[in-house]
Amino acid sequence: MEQALSLLKQEKWRIIDQSSLGPHFDALQSFAMDDTLCTSVGSGYSVPTARSWVHHQTIVLGIQDTKLPFLEDGLNYLEEQGYRYIVRNSGGLAVVLDEGVLNLSLIFPDTEKGIDINKGYEAMWALIKQMFSDFEVTIEAREIVGSYCPGSYDLSINGKKFAGISQRRIRKGVAVQIYLCVSGKGEERAKHIQQFYKKAKKDAETKWVYPDIRPEVMASLADLLHTHISVQDVMLRFLTALKEMSQQIFSEPLSGDELGWYEEYYKRIIERNEKFV
């Protein structure tokens, strides 16, 4: 864990806060942003960067989800429930984003030795534990069976998952990404993914393994901490934790070469999505 903490202790953290852009901020833009920042940080054009983002009523699918035999039936269900959907360019399976879910990305340069994949995950886990250290709870990192997009770094309290971590590595940059179910009902979100898989897979045999969703194993931080907590509250905790671990945090939007990289990555992810859905 000490090695993971050393990743967080950067001299400077650049902050890009996109948590309050509203319902017209599309999730495809977010994934193009993180690819841009990987390129920028990996090349030394930018210092390590922390980005926050919120998307309204969006289901983010993994590439594996696009192989479901009755995908169209599943997508129709999501549309009927008022959700948009996109296919992300990193690993994993379907997750739910809405105004009660805060996403955080930490973008580091990959050193010559390389950042071990677990070290990236543990850095994010350490950050979340630091952010909520004033609560008398244990935040565990282990797979929560029955959750959506299960993984060995699911974050949970008392066996209920409230967050999942993924990684994206390109151009000598590493983006460690987390979704935090801050408020709202984690169980209700899970029910939508449960229904999506029921309709998109039915009883067909598939090459890929898809999760058997148990909605009761998922919850929001507000429920798990027994307190009213908002995305804005968690944003303050996020910025405070980064400030404590660095000499300087500063806000700076994309500029210069980054604008051209962003256009290119955005175009790529749109084209990729057109193939899938």
Closest-CA residue to 221 (of 176, 149, 163):
163
d(CA 106, CA 99): 20
Asked if residues 139 and 125 have their Cβ atoms less than 8 Å apart, the reply is yes
CA quadruple 52, 61, 175, 120: dihedral positive or negative? positive
Report the DSSP beta bridge partners of residue 60. Answer: 86, 95
Asked if residues 148 and 213 have their Cβ atoms less than 8 Å apart, the reply is yes
d(CA 80, CA 72): 12
Secondary structure (3-state) at 132: coil
CA angle 164, 81, 94 (to 5 degrees): 25
The type of residue at 53 is W
Q: Establish whether 181 is a catalytic residue.
A: no
d(CA 123, CA 6): 8
Q: Which of 8, 37, 144, 149 is catalytic?
A: 149
Active site residue ranges: 149
